[in-house]
Amino acid sequence: MTPVVIDTNVLLVANGSHQEVSDECRAACVRALLARKESGMVVIDDGYRILGEYGNRTYPNEPKGVGDAFLKWLLQNHSNATRVCRVPITETGQDRFVEFPDPLLEERFDPPDRKFAAVANAHPDKPPIWQGADSKWLEWWPQLAAQGISVHFLCPADVERFYAKKFPERDLPAFPPRP
C-alpha cells in the first residue's frame, strides 16, 4: 500500500469536530483512517511537527473519536518503520522548509499546512497528501502535482461546497484525477 501524508483535518473530520461536513465526508475520513491503521504506512516528519499538530487538535489520551484513536495508534507505532516513516525536513524560518516543493507556491500556502507538502516532497516516493475538507488545497494541488506530489481529496463534494462558500467570486478549480 502506498504511504500517505495525512492532513490534520482528516482526523478532525473523522472525530466529528467539523460541524459543516456531510455524513458522507465524515464516513469517508473514518474509513480511510481505519483502513490505514489496519495496513499501510503513514509519513510524518522526524521533528514531530505533524504529530504535535495532531496532538494539539485531538485527544489521544481520552480517545472519543476515530481521529483521536488514530493519533493514539500513530504515537504507539511512530518507531515501527513498517507502519510509520519519519522523514527529516529542515525549517529555515517559522513554517518555512527547504523541502517545500515550490518556492513560489510557498508564499501562497497556509503556513501551518506547509509541513505536509514538505514531508511529501522529502520522502523518496513523494506520497500523496490526504485532504478532508480544506478547500484551499483546490488551488494548490496543480503546483504540487507539477512537482510530483498528488493531493487526494477524500470529500470532494464537501470541498466543492466549502470553496464556493468561501470564494463566491471565483470559479471552482478542477479536482485532480482520481487514482
Domain count, the chain: 1
Cα–Cα nearest to 31, from 17, 44, 18, 13 = 13
pLDDT of 20? 93
Position 178 in a domain: no
Q: pTM of the prediction?
A: 0.94
Q: 31 lies in which domain range?
A: 5-166
Residue 63 included in any domain: yes
pLDDT digits 0-9 by tens, 80-107 = 999 999 999 999 999 999 999 999 999 9
Q: Which grid cell sits at 19? A: 460541524
- The answer on pLDDT for 54 being more than 90 is yes
Residue 38 maps to a domain? yes
Distance CA 81, CA 148 (A): 24
Q: Does any domain span residue 55?
A: yes
Element (H, E) at 52: helix 49-57
